[in-house]
C-alpha cells in the first residue's frame, strides 16, 4: 500500500511539472513551513556533495531509506548510499560541484511527512557528464520524533531537447 501511494505521488509530481522543464514553480506548490525543513537538508546534501563526502551525504537519510539514482539503480540503507556516493565522487563526479538548486515544491502530506521536488545543475570538470549534469529529485522527508531525514529519494536526469 505504501509503495502504491508513493508511486501515485511521484506520478502526480511528474505530470504536474512538465517532465524535463526547469521553469520556476507556482508559489502555491511551496508551503513555507515545509520549505523551512527541507531547505537545510538540501543545503547539507549539496555541501557534502561539493566536498565529495559520501558518508556525510548519506547521513541525511534514514537507516532504512531507499534511493533510485540517475541510472535507475536502487540503493537501500544509509551504508549502501554512502558507498555508492563515495564511488561516484571518486570517478564520474570527481571534483564536481552543485552550481545551483531550485526548490520546486515542498508540502506536507501528513504531520511527519513532507514531499519535496528540486532540480539541480552540477558542474562536472571531466568525463562523460562534463561540463554539466542536470537532474530533478523527489524526496520524501520524514520526522522520527526528533529529526527530519530523507526516507526516499528519486533522482532523474533532465535531458536537453
Of residues 40, 33, 35, the one with CA closest to residue 25: 35
Report how far residue 93's alpha carbon sits from residue 95's, in angstroms, rounded to the nearest whole number. Answer: 6
**159: cis peptide before it, omega within 30°?**
no
Characterise 81 by phi-psi region: left (phi > 0), alpha (psi -120 to 50), beta (else).
Answer: alpha
Q: Which residue has the cell 554512502?
A: 82
Fold of 29-157: Nuclear Transport Factor 2; Chain: A, (3.10.450)
The pTM is what? 0.82
Per the document, the length of the chain is: 161
For 27, the 3-state DSSP assignment is helix
| Per-residue DSSP letter, 127 | S
Where in the chain are the domains?
29-157
Beta bridge partners of 123: 97, 132
pLDDT tens, per residue, the chain with 161 residues: 344 333 333 334 433 333 334 444 455 689 999 999 999 999 999 999 999 999 999 999 999 999 999 999 999 999 999 999 999 999 999 999 999 999 999 999 999 999 999 999 999 999 999 999 999 999 999 998 899 999 999 999 998 76
Amino acid at each position: 500500500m505504501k509503495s502504491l501511494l508513493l508511486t501515485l505521488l511521484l506520478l502526480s509530481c511528474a505530470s504536474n511539472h512538465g517532465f524535463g522543464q526547469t521553469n520556476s514553480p507556482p508559489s502555491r506548490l511551496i508551503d513555507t513551513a515545509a520549505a523551512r525543513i527541507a531547505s537545510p537538508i538540501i543545503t547539507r546534501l549539496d555541501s557534502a556533495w561539493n566536498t565529495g563526502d559520501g558518508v556525510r551525504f548519506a547521513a541525511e537519510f534514514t537507516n532504512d531509506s531507499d534511493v533510485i539514482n540517475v541510472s535507475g539503480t536502487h540503493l537501500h540503507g544509509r551504508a549502501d548510499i554512502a558507498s555508492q556516493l563515495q564511488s561516484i565522487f571518486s570517478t564520474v563526479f570527481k571534483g564536481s560541484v552543485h552550481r545551483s538548486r531550485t526548490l520546486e515544491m515542498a508540502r506536507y502530506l501528513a504531520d511527519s511527512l513532507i514531499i519535496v521536488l528540486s532540480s539541480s545543475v552540477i558542474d562536472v570538470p571531466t568525463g562523460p557528464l562534463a561540463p554539466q549534469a542536470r537532474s530533478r529529485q523527489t524526496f520524501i522527508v520524514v520526522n522520527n520524533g526528533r529529526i527530519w531525514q530523507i526516507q526516499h529519494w528519486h533522482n532523474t536526469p533532465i535531458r536537453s531537447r
